[in-house]
Amino acid sequence: YLGKPLLMLPAHIEQDCNAYDAARGGAGIISDNFEVDRLLEFSRSEYQPEENFRSWVRSCEWRLLNCIETAEGIGFVNDYKLIYELENSLYEIKEG
């Protein structure tokens, strides 16, 4: 999440749902056409970057590891090779 206002032009139903959700959250506007003037007006008058969302995105690695470790701790996950690979992948993403 870069904190930039969005002009969303959904083409499929799942994109419509995501665009609606993002617009409702104040991230941008939905359009059927590439209307740069509308985006510029939105960015000047209505748009406020959502710091809580940015913090939530940045906490993703910790939350995912916490879920894996919790599942492992209660015996839900018994495949330790899978856990090891997931944790290594997350650390590689963080380093990368």
DSSP 3-state helix, strand, coil percentages of the chain (rounded to 5)? 60, 5, 30
Residue-wise pLDDT tens digits, 28-44 = 999 999 999 999 999 99
Whole-structure pTM value: 0.57
**Would you kindly state where each structural domain of the chain is located, as residue ranges?**
6-48, 59-95
Output the pLDDT for position 92: 73
Q: Which residue has the higher pLDDT, 11 or 63?
A: 11
Output the pLDDT for position 7: 96
Nearest-CA neighbor of 38 among 25, 26, 52, 28?
Answer: 28
Residue-wise pLDDT tens digits, 76-88 = 656 666 667 777 7
Most confident range (mean pLDDT) of 4-8, 23-27, 83-87 is 4-8
